[in-house]
């Protein structure tokens, strides 16, 4: 849930009440995770608003909602599929929302591509490095843009950048060591 909250707060500011509704989770549970993220300085409170005799606190992320390769390797295998599914679902929700809202194709210079193809281990590593470099550049651009927007007191263009690189399902491809083990285990079962 903390990853989901951090991803949302990277996109915009929100209150625990808004996050609770969006994530379809209880307010006390969401508030707890917001507090943990705040304690670890992953998010910061940016404003408060009075609401029916109470004060609603709004937060935004101070840290990017992604895991490095090293972070990912440290995660237990049991939670990786759920985290991947959650990330892809949020990405698809963003794409569908942009398509339905008419913003996906609103700019002629938008980019969409899909490039499946076989690579060897060196090609895999080179692609991973390129994506990491690209991510670093995107973050730098967003940081510079945020500074210019703050100076101009402007809102900016909502922008979504998604980079995916994964081993695709191809029955004809030579299996990797991991998939060989998986196939051997399936044969035994």
User: Residue 13 above 80 pLDDT?
Assistant: yes
Instruction: Report the chain's C-alpha Rg in angstroms.
Output: 20
Residue 8 has pLDDT above 90, yes or no: no
CB 30 within 8 A of CB 65: no
- Predicted confidence at residue 27, as pLDDT, reads 94
pLDDT digits (tens, 9 = 90+) for 122-177: 999 999 999 989 988 988 888 788 888 878 888 889 888 888 888 888 655 454 54
Q: Tens digit of pLDDT for each residue in 17-31?
A: 999 999 999 999 999
54-61 vs 43-51, strand pairing mode: antiparallel
pLDDT number for residue 150:
78
Say what the pTM is: 0.59
Tell me which residue of 78, 72, 168 sits closest to 124, measured CA to CA: 168
Determine contact, residues 58/13, Cβ cutoff 8 Å.
yes
What percentage of the chain reaches a pLDDT higher than 90?
A: 33
pLDDT band of residue 14 (cuts 50, 70, 90) is very high
């Amino acid at each position: 849930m903390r990853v989901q909250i951090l991803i949302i707060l990277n996109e915009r500011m929100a209150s625990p009440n808004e996050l609770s509704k969006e994530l379809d989770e209880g307010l006390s549970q969401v508030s707890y995770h917001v507090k943990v993220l705040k304690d670890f300085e992953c998010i910061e409170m940016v404003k408060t608003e009075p609401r029916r005799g109470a004060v609603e606190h709004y937060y935004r992320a101070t840290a990017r909602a992604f895991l490095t390769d090293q972070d990912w390797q440290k995660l237990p295998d049991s939670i990786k599929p759920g985290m991947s599914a959650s990330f892809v679902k949020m990405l698809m929700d963003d794409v569908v929302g942009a398509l339905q809202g008419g913003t996906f194709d609103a700019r002629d210079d938008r980019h969409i591509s899909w490039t499946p193809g076989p690579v060897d281990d060196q090609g895999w590593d080179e692609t991973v490095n390129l994506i990491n470099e690209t991510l670093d550049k995107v973050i730098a651009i967003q940081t510079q843009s945020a500074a210019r927007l703050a100076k101009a007191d402007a809102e900016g263009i909502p922008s979504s950048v998604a980079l995916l690189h994964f081993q695709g399902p191809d029955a004809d491809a030579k299996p990797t060591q991991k998939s060989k083990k998986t196939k051997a285990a399936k044969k035994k079962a």
